[in-house]
A and B are shown apart, each in its own frame.
Chain A
């Protein structure tokens, strides 16, 4: 699902394989260069390390295309201002922007990420509430680390209708998820992104590219890889641990369940036998009892978390795969170059 797109200023190519078959109202996201710049700037100024920055996207829907024309950041949360009213802040910001004639329609939100770890319960919940209120809203995920390595990484995601339904019903039991036939692969759908600039800006870009020295572009050719990989692996391992725990939990649950089922079965058999005996003796059969009271089924563990973890693991793996394939390419290239010299 998460096939990566190299996003240059005009990249509309390399769309996700699933992109074309979206059954959602939004089939494409078109972002103003301004928005991208603002998001990047926001992270540069406020986010450090693993901290995450968030903000609101503004724009409007044209046919099946969501145009994001502006955005504004959320202030960083601190413990001091616990009574900070987010909603009011948003409303006021939007009103103020409206006064200066900027699109003020709320069409989603953006968030930075740390080594691609964004598939979380928090994201799911807030995106659900967004999408529930404003159908066309998307979440933009900006990866500053990848961007720093030389390729802008910005992705738009939406919850699939299936997941929306499940979230609406709040049914995260194994059966519920099974019935909805939802897996980690089809929880989120990625919407292709196009970054659009005005012609003047495009012209400027061309000019700048001409002027920039070769060294500026060398970021892309950096051969060192272990640091990034280590980090990714570390995170991946943590998630795998979580996954293991989830599985163990589920395992216990299903073992308990089957044990109980067995007990129930035995109990019923015994009862039948007894009834048969009583009948033969001409006595009245034993009264019916409420089975569900006798055998309370164990509380099934919520499965949503493991789904999310699976999604996150998948995400990491994609990242690692992509990163290594690029790096391998670079290494071969470097080898060839060295051989030539």
Chain B
């Protein structure tokens, strides 16, 4: 196809044709070509065989339609055509009798039967079929079974040979080479088997050579033929004929591709007429090209849109051609904009189902188109576009009035953005391809930015809100290194180009602030505002503005009603919460960090909740449909939050909270776990029969916890902050050093607390100086920590100011006493329960417990 577009071939046509060729690679082509070939050779050899030719052509045409119908699973059509085929076959009975059953006919029968059986087996597919199709399928199956009985031997032979051909193509080609000689020697009388042979040879040739290869083969064949013929004149004739046949083949191919297309007028366009000359074909010669005509044509094209069997690639082509025509005739920007709208729309339409993503070149084209569209819009201030402009009130002609075009750029851009997300979702994140795709992000952002400036002038508030949200969505998850450096006062030393690029423009924080505040003020749909708030919080948190982020979160009251929003928003919420928690951790607010992360981590499904991957659940729980939906919700890889970092932050904050708590409440029966997950990790660590040096992040945390339990902060520190953990976790933070310092400090403080809880019973008094030395903390800190503990009644002690010592009071009950207290409590509840039984029993029953319950046996322990 592309060859015939030679002149007009921009990348699109080539692409579209190649895309076309992918689909019909099925047996159809091979058959057709073999058939054509046979025709071809017949032509060369014999001139008078028209009856047979005619019949066979009829058959082949029918077969082709059947194959097409098979491809699109149109059973009704299949059935219809098959019946016709049978009739046609009967008609050509006398020829068949003479020639034998043509091989292509047998092949179709065999293939069709296989195909039907396969369809029949495919229970799911059958269910999805509509009623008509399903009915047709069953009837057709019946019919072909009956019908094939007559050709049993031939079909069997075919199947055998097709296998054989697969195996040894070499022999096949040998036959091929021999064949022409054979033919030349044989005269007209042995036409019959000759013809049969051809059928096979052609096929065999095709089987080892795909469409393009076939040509070369044919060439060689022609040469061999040439030798025998040894007539120069014949060569010419031959080659000419071959060309003709080739052309015919292509026509047929075309027909196959665009078989259902009704626009008869343009078939000629495809016939290989150069694109420039296409205009007169598109419109009848001499027609004056004006706006109305173009619009009419446009509508004509668009009518085919969405119909079954419409060649979408061709449609895009046509639209492009139309745009070119419109541009050439200076029909004004209005019509151009309109056509552009439609081109983009049909680009989006190219993929029939929602799950598939755009191919790279389509995507590039789409971006270009949108860019061009925006160019036009920027250049021409007098174009009004809007969704609400009715079709008939459009003003596309060049006149004094401004253009009025129906359509919405915003929707197109939003769709583009979604397509981008889809492309990112469907690319392997660890490949170069992903990086390449990600480079388009800049363009996408650029388009969004341009649209933003455009709409700021022209759009309604609602539209502005929407485009702002798009902008926000492209900004919120990016760390603003430039602003970060600026805040550190490290201007000047831009290291790479990228940095330089980034250092232009305003701070992302300011942008976020401006855009979000606009949305807060103006937006009327709840969803956009929610998203904006969440993104704003995320952005704050990402840049360690903890208080702003927290205040915004608390003020928005999102925690209360987030459960009512749709899953993507919930995912965003989860992401925000996680980011908030990590931010709190960086700021040293361990408790806040723990609380923020608790919900996500305790479920054990962090991956799923953050939209960063599907969990392998038992499959019956979700069907394919749900899985598709879930897949569509996934966050692209470049926006992911590192899960290991998340877990590590959570576990470390849990450790800092839990270990002192555990030490303080060692004997408390009603002790609550602060973090179940942390305890789980501890248990896993304990269950290990052999404890080697820690490997994973979790093991490190567990080992550190154990050290902390003993109040050994140095070991704890070395487990939490070391080479491995740095590379795994801590280096992922923007301000690594500061975070590490904070962590060391926290570890020292909490270790001190743990130490005091655990070992206070063995001390009568302890000098604060020694404590400060032990934990490498300054005296005032130690003093304040101990004072806090005393005030909170966690530590029964008092401070002796002159000697700087802590004097223990020893009012804590011993473990035995604790135990006794607990027992007393339990017995109390037991008695209560028993009394209740007794109350109930009185009167009704004789009182089974009259003889006394073990109540009396609660002997008081010493």
Residues B859 and A244 in contact, CB atoms below 8 Å apart: no
A223-266 CB mask vs B (1 if < 8 Å, else 0) is 00010011001101100110110011011001100100100000
17 contacts between A and B (CB under 8 A): A174-B848, A184-B854, A230-B815, A230-B819, A233-B816, A233-B819, A234-B819, A237-B822, A240-B823, A241-B826, A243-B854, A244-B829, A251-B836, A251-B837, A254-B845, A317-B859, A320-B859
Q: B798-857: which have CB < 8 Å to A?
A: 814-816, 819-820, 822-823, 826-827, 829-830, 833-834, 836-837, 840-841, 844-846, 848, 851, 853-854, 857
B816 contacts which of A184, A229, A250 (Cβ < 8 Å)?
A229
Q: Please name the 9 residue pairs, one residue from A and one from B, whose CB atoms are nearest each other, closest first.
A: A247-B833, A317-B857, A233-B819, A310-B854, A317-B859, A226-B816, A240-B826, A244-B830, A178-B848
Which residues of the partner chain A approach B833 to less than 8 Å between Cβ atoms? 244, 247-248, 251
Assembly CA distance A177 to B833 (angstroms): 21
Give the Cβ gap from A214 to chain B, nearest Cβ, in Å.
28
Say if the beta carbon of A47 comes within 8 Å of chain B.
Answer: no
For the complex formed, measure the closest distance between the CB of A50 and the CB atoms of chain B, giving whole angstroms: 18
Q: How far, in whole Å, are A183 and B853 apart by their CA atoms in the complex?
A: 9
Name the B residues within 8 Å of A269 (CB-CB): none
User: A24 contacts the other chain (Cβ, under 8 Å)?
Assistant: no
- A243 and B830 within 8 A (CB): yes
CA distance A324 to B827 in the complex (A): 19
* A250 neighbours in B (Cβ, 8 Å): 837
Residues on B with beta carbons closer than 8 Å to the beta carbon of A243: 830, 854
**CA–CA, A261 and B854, complex, Å:** 29
Q: Taking CB as reference atom, which chain B residue is nearest A182? A: B851
Interface residue? B862 (CB, 8 A): yes
CB nearest to B829 among chain A residues: A244
Does B233 sit at the interface, judged by CB under 8 A? no
Q: Report which residue of B816, B822, B854 has the largest number of chain A beta carbons within 10 angstroms of its beta carbon.
A: B854
Bound-state CA distance A92–B848 (Å) is 47
Residues of A within 8 A of B780 (CB): none
- B816 (CB) vs chain A CBs: closest residue: A226
**In the complex, which of the residues B834, B836, B857 contacts A314, with contact meaning CB atoms closer than 8 Å?**
B857
Contact of A255 among B834, B840, B848 (CB under 8 A): B840
**How far, in Å, is A173 (CB) from chain B's closest CB?**
11
Contacts A229-B861, A233-B861 hold; do A244 and B816 have CB atoms under 8 A apart?
no
Contact residues in B for A229 (Cβ distance below 8 Å): 816, 861-862
Chain A at the B interface: mostly helix, strand, loop or mixed? helix
Say whether A324 contacts B837, CB under 8 Å.
no
Tell me whether A321 is interfacial, beta carbon within 8 Å.
Answer: yes
Q: Is the CB of A247 within 8 A of B837?
A: yes
Knowing A313-B854, A314-B857, say if A236 contacts B823 (CB, 8 Å): yes
Tell me if B819 and A247 are in contact (CB < 8 A): no
Contact in complex: A247, B830 (CB < 8 Å): yes
Per-residue interface assignment for chain A, residues 178 to 218, with 1 indicating a CB less than 8 Å from any chain B CB and 0 otherwise? 10000110000000000000000000000000000000000
Query: CA separation between A143 and B165, bound complex, in Å?
Result: 86
Give CA–CA (A340, B861) in the complex, Å: 29
How far apart are B561's CB and chain A's nearest CB, in angstroms?
38
Of listed A177, A247, A248, A310, residue having the most chain B CB within 10 A: A247
B interface secondary structure, majority: helix
Instruction: Please tell me the size bucket of the interface on A.
Output: 20 to 34
CA distance A184 to B822 in the complex (A): 25
Contact count band on B: 20 to 34
Q: A240-B826, A240-B830 are in contact. Are A258 and B861 (CB under 8 A)?
A: no
Q: Is the C-beta of A10 less than 8 angstroms from some C-beta in chain B?
A: no
List A contacts of B862 (CB < 8 A). 229, 324, 327-328
- Whether A321 lies near B819 (C-beta < 8 A) is no
- B857 and A251 contacting across the interface, CB-CB below 8 Å: no
Q: A230-B815, A243-B854 are in contact. Are A251 and B840 (CB under 8 A)?
A: yes
Nearest CB on B from A331, distance (A): 10
Contacts of B854 in A (CB 8 A): 184, 243, 310, 313-314
- Which chain B residues border A248 with CB–CB below 8 Å? 833
Q: Given the complex of chains A and B, what is the CA–CA distance between A236 and B851 in angstroms?
A: 22
Q: Which residue of B lies closest to A331 (CB)?
A: B862
Q: How far is the CB of A236 from chain B (nearest CB, A)?
A: 6
Given contacts A183-B851, A237-B826, 9 further A-B contacts (CB under 8 A): A230-B819, A233-B819, A233-B861, A234-B819, A237-B822, A251-B837, A261-B844, A321-B859, A327-B862
Chain A hits for B848, CB < 8 A: 174, 177-178
Q: Which residues of B contact A177 (CB under 8 A)?
A: 848
Task: Report which of A178, A251, A324 forms a contact with B861, defined as CB distance below 8 A.
Answer: A324
The interface bits of chain B over 543-555 (1 if a CB of A lies within 8 angstroms of the residue's CB, else 0) are 0000000000000
| Cα–Cα distance between A288 and B175 once the two chains are bound (Å) | 97
Task: Give CA–CA (A174, B823) in the complex, Å.
Answer: 27
Find the A residue at minimum CB distance from B819.
A233
- The interface bits of chain A over 86-99 (1 if a CB of B lies within 8 angstroms of the residue's CB, else 0) are 00000000000000
Give Cα A247–Cα B826 distance, bound, in whole angstroms.
13
Q: Which residue of A lies closest to B840 (CB)?
A: A254
How far is B67's CA from A36's CA once the two chains are assembled, in angstroms? 93
State how many angstroms separate the Cβ of B739 from the closest Cβ of chain A.
43
A230 touching B826 by the CB < 8 A rule?
no
Give, as a whole number of angstroms, the nearest-CB distance from B200 to chain A: 68
Contact, CB under 8 Å: A313 / B834:
no
CB distance from A313 to the nearest CB of B (A): 5
Q: Please indicate the chain B residues that have their CB under 8 angstroms from the CB of A261 in the complex.
A: 844
Residue of B814, B827, B853, B857 with most partner-chain A CB within 10 A: B857
In the assembled complex, the Cα of A230 lies from the Cα of B814 at a distance in Å of 11
Q: Which of the listed residues B836, B841, B862 has the most CB atoms from chain A within 10 Å of its own CB? A: B862
Q: Report how far A229 CA is from B823 CA in the complex, Å.
A: 12
Contacts of B840 in A (CB 8 A): 251, 254-255, 258
Please, which residues of chain B bring their CB within 8 A of the CB of A327?
862
Complex Cα distance A213/B840, Å?
63
**Interface residue ranges of B775-817 to A (CB < 8 Å):** 814-816
In-complex Cβ contact of B846 among A178, A183, A236, A328 (8 A): A178
| Chain B residues within an 8 Å CB radius of A234 | 819
Question: Are A237 and B819 closer than 8 Å at their CB atoms?
Answer: yes
Docked complex Cα distance between A178 and B829 (Å): 25
CB distance from A34 to the nearest CB of B (A): 37
A178 vs B841: C-alpha distance in the bound complex, in angstroms? 14
For chain B residues 117-132, which have a beta carbon within 8 Å of chain A? none
Which B residues are CB-close (under 8 A) to A247? 830, 833-834, 837
Instruction: Look across to chain A and name the residue whose beta carbon is closest to the beta carbon of B850.
Output: A178
CB contacts under 8 Å to A, within B408-464, are none
| B823, A254: Cβ atoms closer than 8 Å | no
One digit per residue, 1 when the CB lies within 8 angstroms of any chain B CB and 0 when it does not, for chain A 311-335 equals: 0011001001100100110000000
Least CB distance from A102 to B in Å reads: 42
Task: Give the nearest-CB partner of A181 in chain B.
Answer: B851
List A contacts of B851 (CB < 8 A). 183
Q: A254 with B837: in contact, given A313-B857, A314-B854 (CB under 8 Å)? A: yes
CA distance A234 to B669 in the complex (A): 11
Contacts of A255 in B (CB 8 A): 840
Q: Which residue of B lies closest to A227 (CB)?
A: B816
| Assembled-state Cα–Cα distance A194/B830 (Å) | 39
Minimal beta-carbon separation of B467 from chain A (angstroms): 62
Q: Which of A251, A258, A261 has the most CB of B within 10 A?
A: A251
Smallest Cβ distance from B148 to chain A, in angstroms? 60
Q: Which residue of A lies closest to B817 (CB)?
A: A226
Shortest CB distance B488–A (Å): 57
Known interface pairs A240-B826, A241-B826; A254-B841 also in contact (CB < 8 Å): yes
B846 to chain A: which residues have CB within 8 Å? 178
Collect the chain A residues with CB atoms within 8 Å of residue B841's CB. Answer: 254
Which chain B residue lies CB-closest to A243?
Answer: B830
Instruction: State the Cβ distance, B830 to closest chain A Cβ, in Å.
Output: 5
A250 to B848, CA, bound (A): 11
Whole-angstrom distance between the Cβ of B451 and the nearest chain A Cβ: 67
Kindly state the separation between the CA atoms of A233 and B819 in the bound complex, as whole angstroms. Answer: 7
- Cβ contacts under 8 Å, B822 to chain A: 237
Cα separation A237 to B854 with both chains bound (whole Å)? 13
Question: Which residues between 260 and 313 of chain A lie within 8 Å of chain B, taking CB atoms?
Answer: 261, 310, 313
